[in-house]
């Protein structure tokens, strides 16, 4: 099968306009004849549900939490980018596009990224109209700040909780459509499979997490807005319920998985402190605007930070990258922190941490100013670590945060499975091998508010649909498979808990498919994952029954999928014999230890096709063609 | 720094809404004081699972104090004794070796228990559906900077908008009132020019929905403010009352 990204013809700036003109429209009176399923209610899912319902489609929306307002987009702290150029500092749609392509180490599709930059301004307009309390200047105009990896101020923010405010905005728009009767909302539901009939995605099978009932839902199209798979590492900044199940099961039904090894390790998280730890907490990288990252110059220096004089500190990011300093992109910052710790210069009890110091900023701007910008983050740090960052430097270490890989989609955001659309972090499309700060919120809302309302119309108007209801044989088949898997999990009755397996899987991936990778380690990880998976199915202990509120059973299903998916990540990492962005293979680095791309052989998207249980997946390639930017070695010196 | 403590836990166990429910005692040892409260419950659940007993069901997700999923009563206080803190952000360093901790679900008529510590808070979604939004369709928004918002108002709106919808205020209130929750949303929009056109309808609709859902009314105990993990102030309730009275007397919507 040849991957066709369906990129519209025409010059880059006009592609989206031409596309919208040429796309077939659905007559307003006919929209109510179409049912659309949306899985997930983060920024992408909530904004898509609301926007499609406003257009007149019948929308059924599902979320795993008790309320759609709790999706993990809510935890995004720093901000959202747009090319408004309000500060008059040289921004433009083309510059936002270029920065995103370059930040992604030239592994994203030009046309999609350009469209993202084009619609970024409309997102801000929409959010302001919804009543989102963005930060303002004295005159009442919107305020901007600079944010990790950008040399200009294009980030809009609502204190350190921008994701929360944007999500609550999208959620309120969704609730408005629920009240209007255009969205049927199903909370506490987990999608366990996609139903494919006549080659089209025509519905889903879900488990009611309260009653345990298995339910069938039919539609004309299905949108997966189910986020990323960072929890494959067990410890990550993701919420506990984040998982790969929806996208992985779609993969097993024919949707290709693209670039699964592209994971983002975020530089500024609170370090791991114990084996019982259940998750890691991000400290927004906006902190790097004012905080200075340093370690002691001498390895093994265990003095408290206040007793290490200025002359014995190494501000290694400022030293190595004078023009970007502490604001280098996330992958660069993370790798450098790891490098310092590997040299024995790490701080704290574990030696796996570096300092993020605000002393200079507090002296320069005053404590009040720092408190206004970062008060809630400092408080959060204090609560978790028991230390006051106004008095002593924060300790930070990189942690898994975001996954650039995801289901492969074309320009329409449709996967290789007809009628299955994938939005937000769940798709692979816009961030290449590394995502820039404040770009995830932009992409989630772009997909939901700005892109899908157009592209889905083109699909619906241009497709023929047979009558497929929940009594169709495909639903019965799919439901049987779902029930079988649940029974299988419950019937093992082994000796190890689900979390125990999950932790072990996480460590394998963190050690061998984390911040830096090598072929021997990846090969080893593959074997270890296979062995662990085999043990899981012989020795997992899932208490309770299927017809109950059973959180252990929920986790077991997700970990079962992670155990298969983890191997796919490793396979992808082995196939990509270059370094780019978050994928750093030690064999491919410059003399200065930066990622060395191989554009001659790997300037492509790797898309994996499921070939059957126990078989290696089939590899497909979407070559990336750059007509508007020059491929260069990223340099932040 | 980190030490280990032992605790006696009295945890509410209720297998389903029809079950009467009861406290059960558990003893846990070697709890690191660096653990969060939910990590302590994870340890209990791992032990219960291996011992062949059903683990304790509790809601949680982000574990960084922003999603609003978690929350139980801890020694009679919603989210525990620490000010401005969700349960997931409460760490065991605030407890002493040998302490007995009573853990039970949020209790309110409008929040029926689903299982153990898990309650049904869908009433909050229904209240938002009754007006907790600004009616603007996707695509119809004007240029963002055409609307000026004094930073002072934006900050106050943000103070109110910080609500995470956890329901701690309801659980803390002797009347099981949702006034703090409703007032936070009403205030956010009342303070912004975008929210003014629908202000009357919003105040009336959301208060009506709160009553229908079975929440009580406010009689100024201020327990909500004290237990709110985001420290939403009751000045918002005063603002809601003003909005409601204005809407009731002077608005064509009343």
Using a CB–CB cutoff of 8 Å, tell me whether A75 touches chain B: yes
pLDDT digits (tens, 9 = 90+) for A164-205: 999 999 999 999 999 999 999 999 999 999 999 999 999 999
Question: Which residue, chain included where needed, has tokens 């659940």?
Answer: B45
The mean pLDDT value for A314-342 works out to 92
pLDDT exceeds 70 at position A438 = yes
pLDDT reported for residue A78: 84
Q: E strand or H helix at A342, and its extent? A: helix A330-342
Residue ending a domain, among B80, B108, B136, is: B108
Shortest distance, CA B87 to any CA of chain A (angstroms) = 11
**Number of CB atoms found within 10 A of residue A14's CB:** 12
Q: Are residues B136 and B241 part of one domain?
A: yes
Strand runs (DSSP E) across A105-244, as ranges?
145-146, 153-156, 183-186, 189-197, 200-208, 214-218, 221-224
Q: Are residues B50 and B142 part of one domain?
A: no
pLDDT reported for residue A569: 98
The mean pLDDT value for A459-479 works out to 97
pLDDT reported for residue A591: 87
Q: Are residues B133 and B87 part of one domain?
A: no
pLDDT digits (tens, 9 = 90+) for A64-106: 999 999 999 999 988 999 999 999 999 999 999 999 999 999 9
Q: Is residue B233 part of a domain?
A: yes
pLDDT exceeds 80 at position B1 = no
Q: DSSP of B190-254, one letter per residue?
A: HTSGGGGGGHHHHHHHHHHHHHHTT-B---S--HHHHH-TT---THHHHHHHHHHHHHHHH-TT-
pLDDT reported for residue B101: 98
Using a CB–CB cutoff of 8 Å, tell me whether A543 touches chain B: yes
Contacts of B193 in chain A (CB under 8 A): none
**Number of CB atoms found within 10 A of residue A298's CB:** 12
Q: Which residue of A has its CA nearest to B40?
A: A276
Q: Is residue B113 part of a domain?
A: no
Q: How confident is the model at residue A632 (pLDDT cuts 50, 70, 90)?
A: confident
Q: Are residues B99 and B130 part of one domain?
A: no
* pTM, 2 dp: 0.97
Q: How far apart are the first and last CA of chain B?
A: 59
Using a CB–CB cutoff of 8 Å, tell me whether A111 touches chain B: no
Crossing angle of the two packed helices A43-55 and A162-179, in degrees rounded to 10: 30
Q: In the numeric block, which tokens belong to residue B21?
A: 């429910």
Are A141 and A88 in contact, with CB atoms under 8 Å apart? no
Shortest distance, CA A79 to any CA of chain B (angstroms) = 15
Q: Tell me which of A144-153, A336-345, A391-400, B64-73 is least confident.
A: A144-153
Q: Do B52 and A178 touch (CB under 8 A)?
A: no
Are A609 and A627 in contact, with CB atoms under 8 Å apart? no
Catalytic residues of A: 330
pLDDT digits (tens, 9 = 90+) for A215-266: 999 999 999 999 999 999 999 999 999 999 999 999 999 999 999 999 999 9
SS3 string of A584-614? CECCCECCCCCECCCHHHHCEEEEEECCCCC
d(CA A635, CA A282): 26
Residue span of the structural domain in which B130 resides: 121-250
Q: How confident is the model at residue A375 (pLDDT cuts 50, 70, 90)?
A: confident
pLDDT digits (tens, 9 = 90+) for B111-157: 999 999 999 999 999 999 999 999 999 999 999 999 999 999 999 99
CA neighbours closer than 13 Å in the CB half-sphere of residue A276: 20
Among A324, A325, A574, A578, which residue's Cα sits nearest to residue A433?
Answer: A578
Question: Which residue, chain included where needed, has tokens 């028991």?
Answer: A386
d(CA A501, CA A536): 7
Q: Is residue B115 part of a domain?
A: no
Average pLDDT across chain B, whole number = 97
pLDDT reported for residue A604: 98
The mean pLDDT value for A396-402 works out to 95
Q: Are residues B130 and B92 part of one domain?
A: no
pLDDT reported for residue A149: 63
Average pLDDT across chain A, whole number = 96
Are A585 and A598 in contact, with CB atoms under 8 Å apart? no
Nearest to A172 among B115, B133, B142 (CB): B133
Are A611 and A618 in contact, with CB atoms under 8 Å apart? yes
Contacts of B139 in chain A (CB under 8 A): 51, 122, 126, 449, 453
Q: E strand or H helix at B171, and its extent? A: helix B168-172
Residue ending a domain, among B108, B131, B163, is: B108
Q: Which residue of B has its CA nearest to A169?
A: B133
Q: Are residues B130 and B94 part of one domain?
A: no
CA A544 to chain centre: 32
d(CA B39, CA B45): 10
The mean pLDDT value for B88-94 works out to 96
Domain CATH code at residue B216 = 1.10.1060.10
Among A82, A340, A254, A153, which residue's Cα sits nearest to residue A617?
Answer: A254
Q: Does the CA dihedral A46-A50-A51-A56 come out positive or negative?
A: positive
Q: Are residues B143 and B104 part of one domain?
A: no
Are A73 and A42 in contact, with CB atoms under 8 Å apart? yes
Q: E strand or H helix at A622, and its extent? A: strand A618-623
Q: Is residue B54 part of a domain?
A: yes
Helix/strand/coil for A28: helix
Q: Do B32 and A86 touch (CB under 8 A)?
A: no
Q: Are residues B167 and B91 part of one domain?
A: no
Using a CB–CB cutoff of 8 Å, tell me whether A46 touches chain B: no
Q: Tell me which of A319-333, A438-452, A473-487 is least confident.
A: A319-333
Using CA atoms, how far residue A63 sits from A185, A186, A207, A239, in Å, is 8, 6, 11, 14
DSSP B148: -
Are B188 and B165 in contact, with CB atoms under 8 Å apart? no
Q: Exposed, middle or buried: residue A518 (CB in 10 Å: 0-12, 13-18, 19+)?
A: middle
Please give the angle made by the CA atoms of A270, A275 and A280, to the nearest 5 degrees.
Answer: 25
Are A370 and A394 in contact, with CB atoms under 8 Å apart? no
pLDDT digits (tens, 9 = 90+) for A559-594: 999 999 999 999 999 999 999 999 999 999 998 888
pLDDT reported for residue B252: 79
Region for residue B63 given its phi and psi (left: phi exceeds 0; alpha: psi -120 to 50; beta: otherwise):
left
Q: Do B36 and A278 touch (CB under 8 A)?
A: yes
Q: Are residues B49 and B161 part of one domain?
A: no
How many structural domains comprise chain B? 2
Q: Is residue B116 part of a domain?
A: no
pLDDT exceeds 80 at position B254 = no
The mean pLDDT value for B201-212 works out to 98
Q: Are residues B139 and B39 part of one domain?
A: no
Q: Are residues B55 and B128 part of one domain?
A: no
The mean pLDDT value for B90-97 works out to 97
pLDDT digits (tens, 9 = 90+) for B39-51: 999 999 999 999 9
Q: Is residue B95 part of a domain?
A: yes
More confident residue, A124 or A637: A124
Q: Is residue B89 part of a domain?
A: yes
Domain CATH code at residue B67 = 3.10.20.30
d(CA A376, CA B230): 10
Q: Are residues B127 and B96 part of one domain?
A: no
Using a CB–CB cutoff of 8 Å, tell me whether A136 touches chain B: yes
Q: Do B130 and A273 touch (CB under 8 A)?
A: no
d(CA A285, CA B6): 37
Question: Which residue, chain included where needed, has tokens 């693209």?
Answer: A258
d(CA A619, CA B175): 61
Nearest to A133 among B16, B39, B157 (CB): B157
Q: Do A130 and B136 touch (CB under 8 A)?
A: yes
Q: Is residue B90 part of a domain?
A: yes
Q: Which residue of B has its CA nearest to A163?
A: B66
Q: Do B132 and A379 touch (CB under 8 A)?
A: no
Q: Do B144 and A124 touch (CB under 8 A)?
A: yes
Among A389, A386, A390, A403, which residue's Cα sits nearest to residue A273?
Answer: A386
Contacts of A158 in chain B (CB under 8 A): 158, 161
Residue ending a domain, among B58, B77, B108, is: B108
More confident residue, A393 or A634: A393
Q: How confident is the model at residue B91 (pLDDT cuts 50, 70, 90)?
A: very high
Rounded percentage of chain A residues whose pLDDT exceeds 90? 91
Q: Do B154 and A497 touch (CB under 8 A)?
A: no
Domains of chain A and CATH, by start: 265-401 (3.90.700.10)
Query: Judged by CB atoms within 8 Å, which residues 566-605 of A form the interface with B?
Result: none
Q: How confident is the model at residue A380 (pLDDT cuts 50, 70, 90)?
A: confident
Contacts of B157 in chain A (CB under 8 A): 131, 133
Among B84, B104, B40, B63, which residue's Cα sits nearest to residue B226?
Answer: B84
Q: How confident is the model at residue A275 (pLDDT cuts 50, 70, 90)?
A: confident
Crossing angle of the two packed helices B179-190 and B151-161, in degrees rounded to 10: 160
């Amino acid at each position: 099968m040849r991957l066709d990204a369906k990129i519209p013809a025409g010059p880059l700036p006009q592609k989206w306009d031409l596309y919208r003109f040429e796309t077939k429209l659905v007559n307003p009176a006919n929209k109510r004849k179409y049912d659309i399923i949306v899985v997930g209610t983060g920024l992408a899912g909530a904004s898509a549900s609301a926007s499609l319902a406003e257009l007149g489609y019948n929308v059924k929306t599902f979320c795993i939490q008790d309320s759609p307002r709790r999706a993990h987009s809510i935890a995004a702290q720093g901000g959202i980018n747009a090319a408004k150029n309000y500060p008059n500092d040289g921004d433009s749609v083309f510059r936002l596009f270029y920065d995103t392509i370059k930040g992604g180490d030239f592994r994203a599709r030009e046309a999609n990224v350009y469209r993202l930059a084009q619609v970024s301004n409309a997102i801000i307009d929409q959010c302001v109209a919804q009543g989102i309390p963005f930060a303002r200047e004295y005159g009442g105009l919107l305020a901007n700040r600079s944010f990790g990896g950008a040399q200009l101020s294009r980030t809009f923010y609502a204190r350190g909780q921008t994701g929360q405010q944007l999500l609550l905005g999208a959620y309120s728009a969704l609730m408005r459509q629920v009240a209007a009767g255009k969205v049927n909302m199903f909370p506490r539901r987990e999608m366990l499979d996609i139903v494919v009939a006549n080659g089209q995605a025509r519905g889903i099978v879900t488990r009611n997490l309260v009653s345990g009932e298995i339910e069938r839902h039919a539609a004309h199209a299905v949108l997966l807005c189910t986020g990323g798979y960072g929890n494959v590492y067990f410890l990550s900044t993701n919420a506990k319920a984040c998982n790969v199940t929806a996208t992985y099961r779609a993969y097993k039904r024919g949707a290709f998985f693209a670039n699964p090894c592209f994971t983002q390790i975020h530089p500024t998280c609170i370090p791991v402190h114990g084996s019982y730890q259940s998750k890691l907490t991000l400290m927004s990288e906006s902190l790097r605007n004012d905080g200075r990252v340093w370690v002691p110059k001498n390895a093994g220096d265990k003095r408290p930070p206040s007793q290490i004089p200025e002359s014995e500190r190494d501000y290694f990011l400022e030293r190595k990258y004078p023009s970007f300093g502490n604001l280098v992109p996330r992958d660069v910052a993370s790798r450098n922190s790891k490098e310092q710790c590997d040299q024995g210069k790490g701080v704290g009890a574990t030696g796996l941490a570096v300092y993020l110091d605000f002393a200079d900023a507090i002296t320069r701007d005053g404590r009040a100013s720092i408190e206004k910008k970062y008060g809630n983050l400092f408080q959060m740090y204090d609560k978790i670590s028991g230390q006051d960052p106004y008095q002593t430097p924060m300790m930070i270490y990189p942690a898994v945060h975001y996954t650039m890989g995801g289901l492969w989609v074309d320009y329409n955001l449709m996967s290789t499975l007809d009628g299955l659309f994938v939005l937000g972090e769940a798709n692979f499309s816009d961030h290449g091998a590394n995502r820039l700060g404040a770009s995830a919120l932009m992409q989630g809302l772009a997909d939901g508010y700005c892109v899908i309302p157009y592209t889905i119309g083109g699909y619906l108007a241009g497709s023929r649909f047979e009558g497929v209801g929940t009594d169709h044989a495909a639903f019965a088949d799919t439901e049987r498979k779902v029930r079988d898997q649940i029974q299988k999990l419950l019937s093992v009755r082994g000796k190890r808990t689900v979390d125990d397996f999950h932790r072990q899987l996480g460590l394998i991936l963190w050690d061998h498919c984390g911040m830096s990778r090598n072929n021997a380690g990846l090969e080893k990880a593959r074997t270890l994952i296979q062995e662990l998976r085999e043990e899981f199915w012989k020795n997992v202990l899932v208490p309770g029954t299927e017809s109950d509120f059973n959180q252990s059973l929920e986790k077991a299903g997700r970990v079962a999928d992670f155990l298969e998916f983890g191997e796919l990540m490793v396979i992808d990492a082995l196939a990509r014999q270059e370094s780019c962005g978050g994928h750093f293979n030690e064999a491919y680095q410059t003399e200065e230890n930066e990622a060395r791309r191989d554009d001659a052989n790997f300037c492509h998207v790797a898309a994996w096709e499921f070939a059957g249980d126990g078989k290696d997946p089939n590899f497909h390639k979407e070559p990336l063609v750059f007509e508007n930017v020059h491929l260069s070695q990223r340099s932040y010196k | 720094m980190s030490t280990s403590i032992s605790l006696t836990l009295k945890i509410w166990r209720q297998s389903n809404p029809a079950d009467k429910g009861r406290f059960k005692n558990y003893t846990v040892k070697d709890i690191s004081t660096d653990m969060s409260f939910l990590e302590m419950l994870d340890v209990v659940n791992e032990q219960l699972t291996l011992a062949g007993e059903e683990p304790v069901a509790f809601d949680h997700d982000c574990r960084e104090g922003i999603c609003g999923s978690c929350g139980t009563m801890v020694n009679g206080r919603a989210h525990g004794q620490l000010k401005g803190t969700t349960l997931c952000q409460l760490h065991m360093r605030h407890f002493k070796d040998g302490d007995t901790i009573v853990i039970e679900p949020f209790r309110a008529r409008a929040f029926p228990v689903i299982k153990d510590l898990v309650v049904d808070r869908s009433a909050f979604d229904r209240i938002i559906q009754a007006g907790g939004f600004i009616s603007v369709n996707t695509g119809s928004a004007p240029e963002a900077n055409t609307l000026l918002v004094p930073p002072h108002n934006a900050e106050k709106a943000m103070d109110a908008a910080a609500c995470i919808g956890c329901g701690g205020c309801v659980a803390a209130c002797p009347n099981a009132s949702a006034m703090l929750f409703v007032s936070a949303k009403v205030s956010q929009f009342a303070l912004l020019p975008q929210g003014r056109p629908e202000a009357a309808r919003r105040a009336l609709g959301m208060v009506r929905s709160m009553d229908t859902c079975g929440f009580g009314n406010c009689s100024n105990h201020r327990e909500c403010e004290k237990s709110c993990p985001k420290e939403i102030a009751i000045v918002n309730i005063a603002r809601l009352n003003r909005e409601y009275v204005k809407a009731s007397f002077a608005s064509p919507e009343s």
